[in-house]
Chain A
Amino acid sequence: MESTLVMIVKSIVIFAFILQIVPIILLAERKLLGRFQSRIGPNRVGPKGLLQPLADVFKLLSKEASAPATAVPWMMAIAPVISIVTAVATLAIIPFGPFDAWGGEFGLYGIDVPIALLYFFAFGSLGFYGLVLGGWASGSKYSFLGAMRAAAQLISYEVALGLSLLGVAMTAGSLSLVDIVEAQDGMWYVVPQFVGFCIFMVAGFAETARAPFDLPEGDAEIVGGYNTEYGGMRFGSFFMAEYIEVIVISAIAAACFLGGWHGPGPVALAPLWMFLKLMAGVFFFIWIRASLPRLRYDQLMSFGWKVLLPLATLNVLVTAFVLVAT
């Protein structure tokens, strides 16, 4: 068991890691989006544009947190907090290495909860409350539309997301992410659970509310959706929560399907492999964003209910049959 001191140090490390990684991903996204569109991307601030995220954050910090007269100010203030707290909380369960990878009495993860997947779903759904609450409390029609979309999107995808990971949980015989990764020593679950992986990625895109499922934001038709009325660092918090969720979904995908920390080389390299897989997931998110247009509202709903949900259920059933038969 780990001592309290180790727990405190680990939580600080996780916080530091995420606060460092988000600006890097922000810059990487803008640079990559540029390349995907035959552009260069930001290159004015600092050498090669490396200080661009810093400039963005300074800009956001210097902005006023205004609210419309029809808004409910205290709700508007806590909505981004809900979003970011739930996003950061999920990071605690991401495993970066086994218990004694670097020697000593600690594992390279925040906590190894026996119900890690449920924990992930719980906080993922709670994160949407931030969007819904923020959109509703803004007291503006566009924000409200965005909030409604967020709610509809959540119920369309959450079930498929859960069922897609159920196959993995059944195969590994555990809900703990550490156990799931350790069960993938021989073969990554992306092979036997390929359908589950596809469903998880699609539903994961919906979960993070990013393109092509960025309907709650929908800048083309409903201005900015739930964050229309937000400015300054409140908007920044929503923005950051979105990126942290991208990291979380990529990390869960890496841990549940891509073998987590497994890779060639000594076990001390485990965090490196996990990190590389995570970054590959993030790259995929950016790639998809550069490629696919936003879905229409009814298309999204019918896709979620008529395609993903039956497919995920079928995947679970087949997995169960195979497990019982063998």
Chain B
Amino acid sequence: MAWDPEKDVVKVDRGPEPGGVGAIYRVFGETLRGLRTTFGRVAEGTYTVEYPEEKTPVYPRFRGRHKLHRFEDTGLEKCVGCSLCAAACPSKCIRVVAAENTPEHQVSAGERYAEVYEINMARCIFCGYCEVACPFDAITMGNDYELADYSRSDLIFTKEMLLADPPEHTPLRREGE
């Protein structure tokens, strides 16, 4: 098959040549179009979300601050101190020290409980592997993202902080929104 140079020609849409009488018309036309475009934005209104006052709702599967859970009926902690979350954590930000439950001091439903459970939020990358690794659904990712603080040591969240409800709830998007 013979080479057809026509096929290789790329069609380029060039603008009109600059200058001439047409240019004056184009300049005015395009200027008016630009003015209309910007005025359209005024008519449209603003899109600003004034952040500290109003918060953008997050999606239900948004991975924010972790939560530790208790059984709702007995009030016992779900965490049994198995350290699987710490093992799964890619940034090594979870520290678990386990201790034995005794009949007088029953903290969790299993044989052992987490005496120390700390998450270093300065290192956490919010990947959610801890949630996946947990065999008892004791840790889940919450929806809160306002975690800034003034010092690194304040970013180490203890078990009590993770068990408690966050002081402010992040607005959540409804399903399909």
Contacts and interface: CB of A to CB of B under 8 A. Distances in A.
Interface of A: 32, 34-40, 43, 287-288, 290-292, 307
Contacts of B50: 40, 43
A291 B38 contact: yes
A288 B38 CA distance: 9
B48 A39 contact: yes
Interface stretch (B39-47, B113-121, B129-137, B169-177): B39-47
Contact of A35 (B34, B35, B41): B41
Contact of A291 (B24, B37, B45): B37
B39 A38 contact: no
Nearest to B37: A291
A152 B45 CA distance: 40
Nearest to A293: B34
Secondary structure at the B interface, as helix, strand, loop or mixed, is: helix
A35 B37 contact: no
A243 B172 CA distance: 46
B106 interface: no
A292 B48 contact: no
A307 B26 CA distance: 14
B48 A40 contact: yes
A37 B41 contact: yes
B31 interface: yes
Given A38-B47, A288-B35, A291-B37, 10 more contacts: A35-B41, A35-B42, A38-B45, A38-B46, A38-B48, A39-B48, A40-B50, A291-B35, A291-B38, A307-B24
Contacts of A292: 31, 34
A219 B38 CA distance: 22
A292 B41 CA distance: 14
Task: Give the one of B31, B38, B50 with max A CB within 10 A.
Answer: B38
17 contacts: A32-B42, A36-B42, A37-B38, A37-B41, A38-B44, A38-B45, A39-B47, A40-B50, A287-B35, A288-B35, A290-B38, A291-B31, A291-B35, A291-B37, A291-B38, A292-B34, A307-B24
B130 to A, nearest CB: 39
Given A292-B31, A307-B24, A287 B38 contact: yes
Nearest to B24: A307
Interface string B8-45: 00000000000000001000000100110111011011
A35 B38 CA distance: 9
Contacts of B34: 291-292
Contacts of A32: 42
Interface in B40-75: 41-42, 44-48, 50
A76 B41 CA distance: 41
A35 B42 CA distance: 5
Contacts of B42: 32, 35-36
Contacts of A39: 46-48
A52 to B, nearest CB: 16
A135 B90 CA distance: 57
A36 B38 contact: yes
B38 A34 contact: no
A25 B30 CA distance: 27
B46 A40 contact: yes
A38 B38 CA distance: 9
Q: Which 9 A-B pairs have the closest CB atoms?
A: A291-B34, A291-B38, A36-B38, A35-B42, A40-B48, A290-B38, A38-B41, A38-B47, A291-B35
Nearest to A43: B50
A37 B45 CA distance: 9
B39 A34 contact: no
Contacts of A290: 38
A35 B46 contact: yes
Contacts of A36: 38-39, 41-42
B28 to A, nearest CB: 9
Nearest to A292: B34
Contacts of B46: 34-35, 38-40
Nearest to B35: A291
Nearest to B28: A198
Nearest to A32: B42
Nearest to B23: A307
A197 to B, nearest CB: 13
Nearest to B30: A292
A200 B35 CA distance: 19
Nearest to B32: A291
Contacts of B37: 291
A1 B103 CA distance: 107
B13 to A, nearest CB: 22
